[in-house]
């Protein structure tokens, strides 16, 4: 443990100082999915490069999720990093943008001969260059989207229809001021079950982000509301106040507020928390690094429940290598009214992605974080099963493009515990041909094997996709067969899954998404999933 702390602190303090930088986040949205590729649209991809990592906010946490393999002027073709985060059309994706601020050196005026017979008139001092640049940067930039979606589960016993409404907005320098705001709010309910909403509004209303920020100057700001701090992103959202001050390549910050309620994600004043952090960031060309060390005290009804150190680090100091890691070290815990002061490593996560060449990339991760709570999930049984059983543990991935239009990938993961009760193994592979001659479509063959303590599953699939009307309409079709073998009951069953989807661009910022999936089991029972989504961006 002392070794891990020493490594973390040494890493934090040992990087060379390249210059002052500012880390910004550009927001994009997933517009299309295939078995191995994810297509993400941005307002511009000028600052995004192949090999960069994209992030997704899930359950209040920012996690690396996609690796950019190719790009156009406004879109990126990505491959999933295999961390089992939910991916769907319309999911928001974030790209980190490192902005280097060069130090302005003012040239001193040349000395002039003294003129004793003349006294120059006093003149006001010229405006500082830094202030002029800062005022120039105060330009309003507002973007967002509104969505309406329906999810229908049709079967013979109990069909359900769920509605989901979403609104997200990010406004920078509103009215050309120093005030910025962001929000991401959803409301979902099941038709015919409105009483559940009336009993607990927070079960339907989810506020993932709702915050404002005031920039006193370029490197000093105060945030208030519900917000994820990118410097300590793995801690999730913080309800309250966050103050940050930076100079050169260092920064300090403090936070005071509360944690969300674990059951419905609502504001919970009984879960108070306070903390402070220091950070270091530097950049040189396409290379960057950022580190944060924090100490946080969390309470439950005013009694200290947990006190811990938090460390986070990300860098691209080695060409084509992106690294991210975070961990927590408990200093104090209150368990069953018993105080514990022993050091304990918790919530450890590390991810490495290396682009060996244009035709080959490898990835690896180790996840020992606590179980993530998903407040929203629309996945079918097999996808949810694979996600639950493979999120933790060691994961390795390999992506190859032996020829121009052919891509091959394989991912393997293993979860292990001393007791052996929750061990799991997973192997997933795919083969994609991105442009079939004469048909102008992409086809993907995939296979997945999952082994847990209570079942084995085997899944085989085929997915085809193509652009039907250029720039207007995309479509896809897929079939999957899944065999389940339950060890404890010596029972086996098979599912046959088929689906199709259409993505229609009605107007420049208005899109309609239609999906259907049908599932049939050995008993010929048929289940239907229908999803429609209308998204307006602004």
Query: Which among 92, 83, 82 is positioned nearest to 40, based on CA atoms?
Result: 92
Position 425 pLDDT exceeds 70: yes
Contacts 24+ apart (CB under 8 A), 466-474: 466/439, 466/440, 466/441, 466/442, 467/440, 471/505, 472/504, 472/505, 473/502, 473/503, 473/504, 473/505, 474/32, 474/502, 474/503
Residues in Cβ contact with 98 at an 8 Å cutoff, skipping those fewer than 6 apart: 21, 22, 23, 24, 283, 288
pLDDT in tens, 351-398: 999 999 989 999 999 998 876 666 676 677 777 777 777 778 899 999
pLDDT in tens, 458-486: 999 999 999 999 889 999 999 999 999 99
pLDDT in tens, 493-512: 999 999 999 999 999 899 99
The structure tokens listed for 158 are 């109990």
Q: What is the dihedral of CA 438, 441, 445, 446, to 10 degrees?
A: 170
**pTM confidence score:** 0.71
pLDDT value at position 56? 81
Q: What is the 3-state secondary structure (H, E, C) of 440-483?
A: CEEEEEEEEEEEECCEEEEEEEEEEEEEEECCCEEEEEEEEEEE
Q: In whole angstroms, what separates CA 240 from the centre of its chain?
A: 22
């Amino acid at each position: 443990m002392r070794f891990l702390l020493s490594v973390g602190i040494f890493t934090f303090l040992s990087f060379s100082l390249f210059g002052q930088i500012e880390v910004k986040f550009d927001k994009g949205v997933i517009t299309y999915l295939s078995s191995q590729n994810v297509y993400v649209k941005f307002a511009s991809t000028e600052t995004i490069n192949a090999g960069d990592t994209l992030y997704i906010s899930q359950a209040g946490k920012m996690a690396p999720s996609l690796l950019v393999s190719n790009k156009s002027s406004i879109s990126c073709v990505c491959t999933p990093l295999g961390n089992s985060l939910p991916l769907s059309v319309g999911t928001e994706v974030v790209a980190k943008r490192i902005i280097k601020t060069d130090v302005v050196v003012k040239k001193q005026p040349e000395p002039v001969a003294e003129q004793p017979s003349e006294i120059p008139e006093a003149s006001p001092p010229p405006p500082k260059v830094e202030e002029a640049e800062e005022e120039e940067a105060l330009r309003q930039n507002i973007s967002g989207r509104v969505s309406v979606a329906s999810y229908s589960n049709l079967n013979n016993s109990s069909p359900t229809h769920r509605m989901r409404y979403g609104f997200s907005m990010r406004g920078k320098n509103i009215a050309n001021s120093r005030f910025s705001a962001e929000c991401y709010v959803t409301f979902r309910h099941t038709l015919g079950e409105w009483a559940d909403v009336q009993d607990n509004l927070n079960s339907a209303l989810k506020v993932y982000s709702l915050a404002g920020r005031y920039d006193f100057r370029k490197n000093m700001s105060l945030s208030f509301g519900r917000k994820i701090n990118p410097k300590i992103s793995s801690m999730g959202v913080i309800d309250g106040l966050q103050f940050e001050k930076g100079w050169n390549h260092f920064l300090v910050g403090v936070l005071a507020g509360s944690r969300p309620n674990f059951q419905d994600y609502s504001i919970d004043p009984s879960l108070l928390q306070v903390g402070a952090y220091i950070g270091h960031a530097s950049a040189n060309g396409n290379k960057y690094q950022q580190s944060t060390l924090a100490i946080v005290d969390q309470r439950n009804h005013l009694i200290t429940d947990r006190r811990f150190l938090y460390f986070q680090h990300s860098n691209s100091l080695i060409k084509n290598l992106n690294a991210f890691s975070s961990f927590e070290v408990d200093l104090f815990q209150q368990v069953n009214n018993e105080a514990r002061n022993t050091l304990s490593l918790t919530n450890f996560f590390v991810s490495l992605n290396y682009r060996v060449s244009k035709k080959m990339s490898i990835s690896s991760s180790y996840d020992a974080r606590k179980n993530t709570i998903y407040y929203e999930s629309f996945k079918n049984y097999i996808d949810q099963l694979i996600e639950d059983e493979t999120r933790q543990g060691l994961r390795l991935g390999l992506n190859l493009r032996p020829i121009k239009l052919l891509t091959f990938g394989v991912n393997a993961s293993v979860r292990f515990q001393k007791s052996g009760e929750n061990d799991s193994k997973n192997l997933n592979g795919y083969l994609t041909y991105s442009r079939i001659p004469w048909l102008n479509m992409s086809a993907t063959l995939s296979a997945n094997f999952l082994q847990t303590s209570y079942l084995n599953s085997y899944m085989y699939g085929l997915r085809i996709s193509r652009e039907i009307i250029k720039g207007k309409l995309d479509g896809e079709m897929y079939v999957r067969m899944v065999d389940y073998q339950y060890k404890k009951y010596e029972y086996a069953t098979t599912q046959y899954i088929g689906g199709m989807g259409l993505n229609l661009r009605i107007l420049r910022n208005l899109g309609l998404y239609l999906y259907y999936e049908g599932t049939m089991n050995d008993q010929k029972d048929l289940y239907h999933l229908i999803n429609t989504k209308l998204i307006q961006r602004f």
